[in-house]
């Protein structure tokens, strides 16, 4: 695994300084705590978790938009924050991101041509306007904006949400990336449009052999897009379970993953009405400013072991091959 890894996170944590309350002083808020992760070349890793648990922060750390507070992020074995200029430039080109909101990810003052040609010119992939036009048309075609001639000179506001998201995807492809972070790339889109974007991503992955970190709060989408890959479940800035998608979905180990799967409303009346949700001890999600000691899930977990779960932080255990879980119920198994 290690030598195949394209991205590795090595005990990464990230804190932000925030003001608490109106008169409160500045506080350090740990958003990501001691995260270690390795993503193999050509793999799809789905990062799932609820809003605010740190998925986007993880994505931004990986594409180098923010620096970790501690720990290292390795791209093809090299720490990105101690790379020389040359190496960092290569990394920048190789690792791209697709944002959640197609309405804020495209600059409203530029036409699609300008949006897509700027990186091409900057990195010397094209030399003049006609080469750029040809390349842009080709990119638009690749993301199914056909006929591409209809789109190239439009402004973002003249496109629908789904079409904008396709442009954003095309932009992420301009520099022939090796790794793409798709941060909730479909969750702002309409139900009827989501699936076609997912299919597009899947096709690009196969055609261009791109590795994906697919961030989503929607387990069903993770299952659909990442069936052949792995799922990592995040809760309050930590990964609590990670393993091959079919096993995490069909045989979840962590109480939080189980609670999610038992609670998730589904678009099938018979399935969804027969669910018996797990009885949690509390409905409140702890604040990141005030995390409970021990396992972060312990105030809500029905299986908590008093004296252990509220005192110590569980390690990652591997009760099954390649299927890891951070919960004391699996210690020594």
Partner 1 sequence: MKSREIVKRIFWEPLVIISRDKAGLIGFIFLLSILLLSFVGPYFVKLDTEVKLDKIYQFPSREHILGTDNQGRDIFSQIVNGGRDVIIVAFLAGLISTLIAVSLGSLSAYAGGFTDTVIMFITEIILTIPQFPLLAVLAAFVRLTNPTMLAFIIGFLGWPALARAIRSQVLSIKERDYIEAARVLDLGRMHIIFSEILPNMLSYIVISLIMAMTGAVYSQVGLIILGLVPFYGHNWGLMIQLAWTRGAIFYKGSIFYILSPIIAIVLFQWSAVTFTRSLEGIFNPRLRAGE
Partner 2 sequence: MTREILNIENLFVEYSNIRGKVKAVRGVNLKLYKGENLALIGESGSGKTTLGTAIIRLLPSSGYIKDGRIVYKGNGNEYDISKFSEKELRQFRWKEIAMVFQSALNSFNPVLKVWDQIYDTARAHGISNRNFVKERAISLLRYVQLDPERVINSYPHELSGGMRQRVLIAMSLLLEPKILILDEPTTALDILTQRNIIELLRTIKADMGLSMIFISHDLSLAAELADRVAVMYAGAIVELGSVEDIFYRPKHPYTLGLIKAVPTVTAGFRELYSIPGSPPDLINLTPGCKFAPRCEYKNSVCEKDEPMLVEVGQDHFVACFRHKEIGNGR
User: Choosing among Mg ion, ligand ADP, partner 2, none, which partner's interface includes residue 259 (Cβ < 5 to 8 Å by kind)?
Assistant: partner 2
Query: Which residues from 56-75 bind partner 1, rule CB under 8 A?
Result: 60, 63-65
Q: Which string of b and e fits 257-284 if b means at least 16 CB within 10 Å?
A: bbbbbeeeeeeeeeeeeeeeebebeeee
- Exposure of 287 in the CB half-sphere (CA atoms within 13 A): 7
- Minimum Å gap between C-beta 131 and partner 2 is 31
Stretch binding ligand ADP (CB under 6 A), from 34-42, 55-63, 101-109, 241-249? 55-63
Per-residue binding string, ligand SF4, 43-82, x by CB under 6 A, is ----------------------------------------
Per-residue binding string, partner 1, 151-170, x by CB under 8 A, is ----x-xx---------x--
- Minimum Å gap between C-beta 232 and Mg ion is 15
Return left, alpha or beta for 110; rule: phi > 0 is left, psi -120 to 50 is alpha, else beta: beta
> By C-beta, is 51 or 128 nearer to ligand ADP?
51
How is residue 307 written in tokens?
């004296």
How is residue 65 written in tokens?
């938009």
Return phi, psi of residue 144, to 5°: 65, 30
User: Choosing among partner 2, partner 1, ligand ADP, none, which partner's interface includes residue 18 (Cβ < 5 to 8 Å by kind)?
Assistant: ligand ADP
User: Choosing among ligand SF4, partner 1, ligand ADP, none, which partner's interface includes residue 163 (Cβ < 5 to 8 Å by kind)?
Assistant: none
Return phi, psi of residue 123, to 5°: -100, 20
How is residue 140 written in tokens?
């638009």
Stretch binding partner 2 (CB under 8 A), from 76-84, 129-137, 160-168, 324-332? 160-168
Element (H, E) at 171: helix 161-173
Stretch binding partner 1 (CB under 8 A), from 96-104, 139-147, 215-223, 293-301? 96-104
Three-state SS string over 201-245 comes to: HHHHHHHHCCEEEEEECCHHHHHHHCCCCEEEEEECCEEEEEEEH
What is the helix, strand, coil percentage profile of the chain, to 5? 35, 25, 40
- Minimum Å gap between C-beta 196 and partner 1 is 21
Answer yes or no whether residue 95 interacts with partner 1 by CB under 8 A. Answer: yes
> By C-beta, is 91 or 328 nearer to partner 1?
91
Answer yes or no whether residue 97 interacts with partner 1 by CB under 8 A. Answer: yes
Rounded distance, CA 232 to CA 45, Å?
7
Q: Choose which of 151, 189, 295, 317 interacts with ligand SF4 (CB under 6 A).
A: 295
Rounded distance, CA 300 to CA 285, Å?
8
Answer yes or no whether residue 305 interacts with ligand SF4 by CB under 6 A. Answer: yes
Answer yes or no whether residue 50 interacts with partner 2 by CB under 8 A. Answer: yes
Rounded distance, CA 288 to CA 82, Å?
29
User: What DSSP string describes 252-288?
Assistant: --SHHHHHHHHH---S-HHHHHT------S--PPPPG
User: Choosing among partner 2, partner 1, ligand ADP, none, which partner's interface includes residue 158 (Cβ < 5 to 8 Å by kind)?
Assistant: partner 1
- Binding residues for partner 2, per CB under 8 A? 50-51, 160-163, 190-196, 199, 217, 219-221, 223-224, 249, 259-261, 263-269, 271-273, 275, 277, 280, 283-285
Q: List residues binding partner 1 (CB under 8 A).
A: 60, 63-65, 89, 92-93, 95-97, 99-101, 104-110, 118-119, 122-123, 155, 157-158, 168, 171-172, 174-175
Q: Point out which residues bind ligand ADP (CB under 6 A).
A: 16, 18, 31, 49, 51-57, 288
């Amino acid at each position: 695994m290690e030598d195949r890894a394209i991205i590795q996170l090595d005990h990464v944590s990230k804190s932000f300084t925030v003001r608490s309350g109106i008169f409160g002083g500045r506080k350090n808020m740990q958003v990501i705590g001691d995260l270690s992760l390795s993503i193999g070349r050509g793999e799809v890793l789905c990062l799932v978790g609820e809003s605010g648990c740190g998925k986007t922060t993880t994505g931004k750390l990986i594409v180098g938009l923010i620096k970790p507070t501690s720990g290292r992020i390795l791209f093809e074995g090299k720490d990105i924050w101690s790379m020389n200029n040359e190496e960092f430039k290569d990394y920048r080109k190789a690792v791209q991101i697709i944002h959640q909101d197609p309405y804020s990810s495209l600059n409203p003052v530029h036409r699609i041509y300008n949006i897509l040609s700027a990186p091409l010119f900057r990195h010397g992939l094209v030399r003049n306007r006609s080469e750029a036009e040809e390349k842009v048309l080709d990119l638009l075609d690749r993301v199914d904006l056909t006929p591409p001639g209809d789109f190239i000179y439009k402004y973002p506001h003249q496109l629908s949400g789904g079409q904008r998201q396709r442009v954003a995807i095309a932009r992420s492809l301009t520099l022939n990336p090796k790794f793409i972070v798709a941060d909730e790339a479909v969750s702002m889109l309409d139900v009827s449009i989501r699936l076609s974007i997912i299919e597009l991503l899947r096709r690009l992955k196969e055609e261009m052999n791109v590795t994906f970190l697919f961030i989503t709060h929607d387990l069903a989408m993770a299952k659909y897009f990442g069936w052949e890959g792995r799922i990592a479940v995040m809760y309050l800035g930590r990964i609590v379970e990670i393993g091959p998608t079919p096993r995490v979905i069909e045989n979840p180990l962590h109480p939080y993953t189980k609670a999610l799967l038992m609670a998730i409303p589904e678009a099938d009346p018979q399935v969804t009405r027969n669910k018996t949700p797990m009885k949690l001890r509390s409905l409140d999600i702890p604040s990141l400013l005030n995390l409970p000691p021990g396992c972060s899930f312990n105030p809500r977990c029905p299986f908590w072991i008093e004296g252990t779960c509220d005192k110590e932080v569980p390690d990652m255990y591997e009760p099954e091959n390649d299927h890891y879980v951070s919960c004391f119920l699996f210690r020594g198994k």
